[in-house]
Amino acid sequence: MDEKVAFDDLDSALKRCGASWDAAQSHGLLAGRLAVAGVPAGPDWLLQVLKGTGEADALRRETQALLDALYQRTYWQLSERLSEFTPLLPGDEADAGQRARALAYWCEGFLHGLVSSDHGEELKARLAAEPLADIIRDMLQITRAAVDAESDDETNEAAYAEIVEYVRVAAQLAYEELSEIRHAEG
């Protein structure tokens, strides 16, 4: 899978076509939905992210092409278990506040993806058990992420990198932990 979608390209495309989701939220939602439902999550995810946009609109088609590429790459990264999965976030050139907000939105989307599917009591039980319960609690905390104005840039950068790595590994772990749920649905 060589086709990588850049955060800024997708975020701009989503705004241009009138979507209410941003790039980070969309990718978080996708990762959460893939963890719960696998491949069948794609069409519902796409419809949710593009809800309210004109189906015949050229800007929507452009955005949908980026979302399709993101879906393919994300599914491949998670399903191949090669540790190549990375949350779609702004690059290092973005200011720290923008990156912290995007990380918070990514986690918000991920949590929404985990809990918005109707998979019954088995899913609820899995999400309430360790390690998923810890992941959910931690990501809820990250949804309130902000730059520490009292810390220096280096400290903030180190904290951000550590949290991004945690989120990356946590999303992969959630995908693995929910394997039985996905296969029961399939």
Q: Is the pLDDT of residue 117 over 80?
A: no
Rounded distance between C-alpha atoms, residue 111 and residue 101, angstroms = 15
Q: Looking at residue 2, what is its pLDDT? A: 56
pLDDT at 55 over 90: no
pLDDT of res. 185: 55
User: How confident is the model over 122-168, as pLDDT tens digits?
Assistant: 899 999 999 999 999 999 999 998 888 888 889 989 999 999 999 99
7-185: CATH superfamily: YgfB uncharacterised protein family PF03695 (1.20.120.740)
b vs e for 87-98, b when ≥16 Cβ sit within 10 Å of the residue's Cβ? bbbbeeeeebee
pLDDT at 150: 84
User: What is the percent of the chain with per-residue pLDDT over 90, rounded to a whole number?
Assistant: 75
CA-based nearest residue to 110, from 139, 134, 146: 139
What would the pLDDT profile of 80-116 be if each residue is shown by its tens digit? 877 789 999 999 999 999 999 999 999 999 999 999 8
pLDDT score recorded for residue 102: 97
Domain ranges of the chain: 7-185
